[in-house]
Structures are given as C-alpha cells and as structure tokens.
Chains A and B, each alone.
Chain A
Amino acid sequence: MTDTNAKIRIDGLSKNYGDFTALQPTHLDIPRGELLTLLGPSGSGKTTLLQMVSGLTPATSGRLWIDGADWTGRALHERGMGLVFQHYALFPHMTVAENVAFPLKMRKLPDVDVKRRVAETLEKVQLDAFAHRFPRELSGGQQQRVALARCFVFRPEIILMDEPLGALDKALRETMQLEIRRLHREFETTLIYVTHDQEEALVLSDRICVMNHARVEQVGTPHQIYSDPETLFAATFIGHSNILKGRIDGVANNGLTRIATGSGNFVGRMGARDTEAGEHALIVRPEQLRLGSANGEGMNEVTARLRDIVYIGSDNRLILSLPDGTEFNARQDPANVSGLNVGDEIKVHWPIEAGRIVS
C-alpha cells in the first residue's frame, strides 16, 4: 500500500451472520503509535471490528493490512497482537508471574530473560509484591493491572482492548485510564480501544471512531468530534447537545445554512458530510448559549421559559423550554443566574457559527 504511515489499514472489512449485518464494510487507517477508541453503544459493531483485527473472528469481506502486508487470513497465534479482554481472561490456575510469563514462554525466550522481563513489567504496574498470588486473590483493579502487564510484557506493536475497564468502579476506572495512557506512551504501541463510555474515549484517545448501527459515524480527534459533529448521533453521543429539529430553508448570504424549526428560523453551519434532503436538526452545545438579547449581527436569538435551575458544582444548568416545547440546556456561571426565577420568560442567543446542522 502507498500510505506508509498506516500501521493498520482496515480496508472494507465487514461481518454478516446470516442475514444479520454486524458490521458494514468499513475503511479506517490507523497511524503508528496512535491510540484510537472505537466508541459506540452495544450492537454498533465496535467489538466485531476489533475481533476481526485480532483474528478472533474471520471477516466476511474486506482485507486487513498491517505495515502494508495482507494479514486478513493470519492465524490468531501468529498475529502477535496484545489483547486485553473485558473480563481480563487471566488464567486462574497460574500465578500472577506465570500469567505474565505466558506470552514470553510461547515465544521461547530463555528463562533468565522471562524472569527479568516479568519482574520489570510487574514493577511498572506496581504488582511486584503480588507475583506469587493467584488471580482470584487479587482485587478487580489488581487483576486488571495483571491483564495489562501480561499484554505489555511481550511488547506487541499492536494492542487491542475490549472494554477492559467495564467491570471497575468509577474512581478505579479513572486511575486505570491514566495508567493505560502512560503505558501506551512508554511502550510506543499502536492501540485500539473499544468502549461505550464517551468520557473514557475523551480521556484516552488521540482519535475517536464513533460507531452506530454497524457502521462508522465519524472519525476525528475528540475536539473535532465535539466541536464539529458530522451526524446527529455523533453530536448526541459525545458531550451534551441541545437538539432543535427542523427543515433546511436555503442558504444564508454568508454561506451558512438556514433551518426552519417550530421555534423560529435560525442559521448554522452545515455538518461536513451532510445533504439537504430530509429531516435535519440544529445542534447547540449548552456552554454556547448566552442569556439576554443579541446585540448585533451573527447571532441566533430565541425566547424561552425557564423551567428549572440546577446547581452542578462549577456551573449552573438552566433548563429551558422553547416555544415548540423543545428542551434546551444552558450552562451559566452562577453570577449570571442571580435574579432569575423559575417560570420567567427569558431571551437566549448564540453565535451562528456555533450551531451545527446535521441529520
């Protein structure tokens, strides 16, 4: 292949089970050293895609290229990828050290080297004191660290993780996310990470691949996806969004698009891959709404009823009801909120460039 940067090239991989489509033909290039998350709800095809890359599941069609070579039909044990499973898949009849040593023994490393590298890796995940315990004697977080150690110990060039933190509680999950970031950087691997947790994807990723209904919705950096969602699904799955449904009503003179909704006509930027046909929606992020009347050009304005004010720590969340009943959330500094009462009619506005029109 021509693109020498792509460590992994997913070239039209798809998976059908009989009539059921688990993944539509998918194209994706993953550069060397990137941490890419596959983000989507269950049934979106993210795990299927990961399993086809790993060799656990054969693909229905398409090819997989690694470093420019065709790996589509390679046997599982010849791929040399590191896999971390959701429930860790630690061997219960082996100690922590034996678990971590397993991939090295499969590679027939001399015993001395196995010992040294196991010790090094266990130290890196702060489990050196637990080398001779059995997995069932460890806590969930410790088991997860063993799984990570077992994966990183043989320095695979590609690591695939399938919701590895799914079984942990929130605090532990956040610690482990930072740990995975650190290990990823330290070992300079290319890492594909499957999750349904958008916060986790935001914390970890160089790039996020948002998936839904067995296909890719959008690929981009966390910032790109947040600020420039290409589809309604991508907009709602990452971060909070206010959604105002309507129809396209031509192009405004500044190149932006007009949209007619039940609460009035507004202007916004068309999403990058959108067409003008069918139902559309205007997406506005809560932090972009400002209170009061718009002064001057380049603003959308609407009158709304204040339904509730919720204190959420750093900010206040204002829950608004638009004329057609659509609910809008606005995030405001507590200072701006004083003097407002539930039930008030207030005006809100936002810059026209901030709104995205998607379908």
Chain B
Amino acid sequence: MSVAQTISRVQSWRPKFGPIWLAAPALAFVAVFLLWPMARLIGLSIQDADTAAFTLDHYQKLVDTPVYSRILGITFRISVLTAFFSVLLGYPLASWLASLPSHKRNKWLFLVLLPFWTSYLVKTFAWMIMLGDKGLINSILTGTGMAEDSLSLMYNELGVLIGMVHAMMPLAILTMVPVMANVDNRLSLAAGSMGARRSQRFWLIEFPLTMPGVAAGGLLTFITSLGFFIVPAYLGGRGQTMLAQIIIMQVQQLVNWAFAAVLSVMLVAAALVAIWFYDRLFGLSTLTSASSTSGKKHGQWLRFLAQKVLSLLAWLSSPFDRLGQSTSERRPFKFAYVLIIFVFLLAPAMIVLPLAFTSDRTLAFPPPGYSLRWFEFYFNSPIWISATIRSFGVAFATAIVATCLGGLAALALARSDSRYGKAIFALMLAPMIVPRIVIAVGLFYLMAQIGLVASNIGLIIGHTLLAVPFTFITIGAVLKGYDWRLNDAAATLGAGRITVLRLITLPLLRGGIISAALFAFVTSFDELTIALFISGGLKSTLPKQMWDDMYLQLNPTLAAVSVVVLVIVTLLLIAAQKVQKK
C-alpha cells in the first residue's frame, strides 16, 4: 500500500519518471520494515517504559550490571575469534580455489556453497552428534585408545568456536575468492623474476593484494557472529552465552522491551564500529590503492608500518621456502590441507545422512540397523508436515516478492547514474549488515502493533527483507554484463519498450533472475531468527519446529528432517548453478 502511494505521489510531483525510481518499492520496503523498526528500537531504549519520557536508565542498568558487560565481552571475544579462525583457516582453501581455471573453480565452489546455504540448525545438530560426550569423535578417540576418557568438546568455548567457525568459514571463503581471483598471478611471477623468494612473493605481493578480501571476509563473519545464538545455545555452556540469546530472553520471557532495545542498539553499534574500523584500516584508501587524497599522511604512515610488518613476516617464513618446491606443479601439503578443510565443511552434514535411516531410537553412530521409520514418522506427523508446507509457501512467496523488489532496484542502479546510487546501494545491503536478531526484534515489535504476529504475511515480509540483498546483488551482477545497446538496436528495429523488455532483456537476464529467486527461496526456507519471533504457536515453520524439537531432545526424526532440508537445498543450488551457466 505505502509503496504504491509513494510511487503515485512521486509521479505527480515529478512527471519525468527516471529509471532511478524503479528502486522506490525496494527502498520503501527497507525503510518501513528495517529503518522504521530500528528507529523505534532506539526510541524504546531511551524512553521510560511507562511514561515515555526521555531517560538513560536502561543504559545505566547495562553499565551497572556486571553480568551484561561480561556478556558483551564474551560476544565480542567469540565473534573476533570466529572471524579470525574462519579467515585464517579458510584462506588457503580460498587461494586454492582462486588459482583454478574458472569452470573448475565453479565446480569446487559448489562444495563451499552447500555448507554456506545449509541451515545453521542442521549444522549445529550435526555438531552436537559429533562433539557430545558419547558423540562420534569421542567414541573414535576412546575406541581406538587415543584418549582414556571422553574429552569435553562441547558446552564450552571450544564447542562454540568449532560450530561458529564451521558456520562462518564458507562466508569468509566466498568473500575472499573473488578478490583473490582478481589478483593478477603474473605479479607474483614478476616478483619472482626480480629475485623474490616464495615467502617474499607471498607476504610482499600476494597477501597485501588479497588484503581487501581478507578484511571483508573478517568483517562479514565478525558482524554475522555478533548476532549469533543457535550455536552458542546448543554447543556452548553458561559461560558462552551471547548477546543475541539475552535479547531473545528479554523479549520472549521477560517482555522487557526497553532492555532488549538497549542490547540491540549495542549490537548494531558494535557492527557499525567494525565497519568504521574496516574503512579506516583496510578501506580502499589505504593498502590497496592509496589514491584518495584525504588522510594521505595517515595512510602513508600506516603503509610504512604495514610494509615493515610484511617484510618481517616474509623474513620469518623464509626458512620454509624449501618446503613444497615451487618448481613442481604439485603441492602435496596444500592439497592435503584443502582436503581436510573440505571434510571439515562437509562432514557434519554428511554424518546426519546415515543417522536419518537408523532403526534405533537413539543417534548412536554407526546405526545398529537401517530403516525408514523416522521418515515415516516425519511424513505422518501433522506438526512436521504443516510446518514443512508453511515453509514452502512462505519461501515461494518470499522468492517472488524479493526477486521483484531486488531486481527492480538493481535495474534502477544499472540504468541511472544518479548521485544517490551509492546511498541506495548501501540501503539495499543494510539487511545484510544489521544483525539478524536485531531485525527480528524490531520487526516483532512492529508486527505486534499492526497485528501480523503469527501470520504468514508477517513471515513473508521478514524473509523478504533478508532475501532482498541477495536478489539485488545477484541480478545486479547479471545486469553488469548486459549490453544495453541491444535495447537500442531492438528499438531501431521497431520494438516498443515493453516488447524490448519481454523479448530481449528478460530472456537474456533469465538465468540471473531465476537463480536470484532460488537464493531467496533458500534464504527463507532456512530462516530461523525471524520465524522464532513471528511464527508463533501452530504457525510454525520447519526451522522453528526443528529448534523447538532440538530444545526438548535430540532424536532421529531431526536427522530425517535434516536430510529432507539438505536434499531440498542441494537441489535448489544445483538448479541455480544450472540456470546461471546458460
């Protein structure tokens, strides 16, 4: 409604309807369902709950209660460690992927995309099976006599970090690969011809050039980790409670909106500070180009420091130059490492597969026998089936709405050189930057006011908000390669604007549009955070139902459901890859 009003008002106000206005529906959507709720949250955090008068009491409470500052500290620590290890451990795999020719790279990238799109719940469920006291890893260790007693691998920081790094590493890799692939590998050869050894080539040339990717990967994993609750809730102990869990508790159990708002503001502030640091330290203006004139002095000082550090690193790693002969094209160490990381990324989901077919009531591995009983249970359970159907319906609607909104916005940016382009771009990506938990809390507050809680519409709106950045980026990428002169050519041949769109533009963009829709579908299908708040009671989605079930007890039904989810997501990803190739 408001979208249509905006457009009609805009049209009468300015008769010339430039392409930039195609972004209006998406912007209005983001404004109403992201910016406005955020503003409300900020308002709540500085208002007295009863009188609505201005107050800083809630913040005062945050400062006064040591447990909260401790939780802030824990959240920050786990997020930093997660980002660090995701980037560090993912870097060699990313650089290996980047070194492949592009058709091969896309095949292998699929093995990263798969865990990327696999539901966090499935991943966490798998890790619980693997890391428990009687879990897979411990039974292997004690069974082979490598350890006398079970090691405690979960309900502590180690468990949380394993789960978090596993959840975040695909994101880190996917962020780094394009940057690395763009680095001209002849530069390293050129350095070699000038006398640089392997260590020097890596630290002085390759690493600084991949730095923007590393920093972006670290930033994105850090921000996403900040708002995480699934992994710490199931794999962590008391000492690993993170901010998002407290926010959920404040909203769902204590109904303390003001304090939930304060914590949300904290989360967003932490994310913004991280982005600010990124811009200061690794932004385009420093290491990579330094072409900007502003802050050049600072930049030079920083560059000098960075160069010294990198030279030191090169010197420190030079003793290893002889490991892995640079002349031989095969690198056994690197290959073994790549294999290990792929196993780490894929094994958890694969573990679930045999367990779904167990004949036993427990999740013992290996299963004592095989049967289809848990799938039967799933298909005969009205609760599970209605949740599945709801998830499908919501995901389908989300795919359509998000593709339209994101596609039009991408088209607007591709077709106009408006000076608002950058701002629009930033706004379109905002749902990816703001921690999901904050989006969910804000939406919950809004939906409660307009009576859309526990409704499918509310879910679709929330999921569309999360999916819009994906469709926007995917369609934007296709549009970049689109030759707009084709439109002129068609027009000179007598085609009207609608005909051009129907016969030329849409067919050429079809692959990108379909894969955008598929990504939107998967985003919604896997989504838990918003469902946690907005799908209440009987109107549960599949991830919400899994979350509730996992809370009660780990059972083989969950494995069967996980397999169903995995199969659906895999099929959708394969479909997306197939249409993108065409």
* Chain A residues proximal to chain B, CB less than 8 Å: 54-56, 58, 73, 75-83, 85, 87, 89, 91-93, 102-103, 106-107, 134, 136-137, 150, 154
Contacts and interface: CB of A to CB of B under 8 A. Distances in A.
A77 B192 contact: yes
Given A87-B186, A93-B287, A137-B291, A81 B193 contact: yes
Contacts of B196: 77, 102, 106
B443 to A, nearest CB: 42
Interface of B: 184, 186-187, 189-197, 200, 204-205, 208-209, 287-291, 326-327
26 contacts: A75-B326, A76-B192, A76-B193, A76-B326, A77-B196, A77-B197, A82-B194, A83-B193, A83-B194, A89-B184, A89-B187, A89-B189, A91-B205, A91-B209, A92-B209, A92-B289, A93-B290, A102-B194, A102-B204, A106-B195, A106-B196, A106-B200, A107-B195, A134-B289, A136-B291, A154-B194
Contact of A85 (B186, B288, B290, B327): B186
A92 B288 contact: yes
Nearest to A160: B193
Contacts of B194: 77, 82-83, 102-103, 106, 150, 154
Q: Main SS of the interface on chain A?
A: loop
Nearest to B288: A93
Counting chain B CB atoms within 10 Å of each CB, the highest count among A55, A87, A106 belongs to A106
Nearest to B296: A132
A78 B327 CA distance: 12
A124 B193 CA distance: 22
B190 A85 contact: yes
A238 to B, nearest CB: 30
B193 A54 contact: yes
Contacts of B189: 56, 76, 89
A103 B290 contact: no
A134 B290 CA distance: 8
Contacts of B197: 77
A239 to B, nearest CB: 33
A228 B287 CA distance: 56
A87 B187 CA distance: 10
Nearest to A56: B189
Contacts of B208: 93
Nearest to A73: B327
Counting chain B CB atoms within 10 Å of each CB, the highest count among A56, A91, A136 belongs to A91
Nearest 8 pairs between A and B by C-beta?
A103-B194, A106-B195, A89-B190, A76-B192, A83-B193, A89-B186, A77-B192, A93-B208
Contacts of B200: 106
Nearest to B211: A93
Nearest to B205: A91
A313 B435 CA distance: 72
Nearest to B286: A93
A77 B321 CA distance: 12
Contacts of B184: 87, 89
A85 B191 CA distance: 12
A122 B191 CA distance: 19
Contacts of B291: 134, 136-137
Contacts of B187: 89, 91-92
Contact of A82 (B193, B204, B326): B193
Contact of B195 (A80, A89, A134): A80
B211 to A, nearest CB: 8
Given A75-B326, A106-B194, A136-B291, 11 more contacts: A77-B193, A77-B195, A77-B196, A85-B190, A89-B190, A91-B187, A91-B209, A92-B209, A92-B288, A134-B290, A154-B194
Nearest to B209: A93
Counting chain A CB atoms within 10 Å of each CB, the highest count among B194, B196, B289, B291 belongs to B194
Contacts of A80: 195
B283 to A, nearest CB: 14
A58 B191 contact: no
A48 to B, nearest CB: 15
A103 B201 CA distance: 12
A150 B196 CA distance: 14
Contacts of A134: 289-291
A98 to B, nearest CB: 8
A32 to B, nearest CB: 20
Nearest to A79: B193
Contact of B327 (A75, A79, A82): A75
Contacts of A150: 194
A226 to B, nearest CB: 33
Counting chain B CB atoms within 10 Å of each CB, the highest count among A54, A55, A56, A93 belongs to A93
Contacts of B327: 58, 73, 75
Nearest to A81: B193
Counting chain A CB atoms within 10 Å of each CB, the highest count among B209, B287, B290 belongs to B290
Given A58-B327, A75-B327, A106-B196, A91 B191 contact: yes
A137 B287 CA distance: 15
B130 to A, nearest CB: 42
A150 B195 CA distance: 12
Nearest to A98: B307
A56 B184 CA distance: 15
B284 to A, nearest CB: 11
A137 B290 CA distance: 10
Contacts of A106: 191, 194-196, 200
B203 to A, nearest CB: 12
Contacts of A78: 195
Given A89-B186, A89-B189, A103 B195 contact: yes
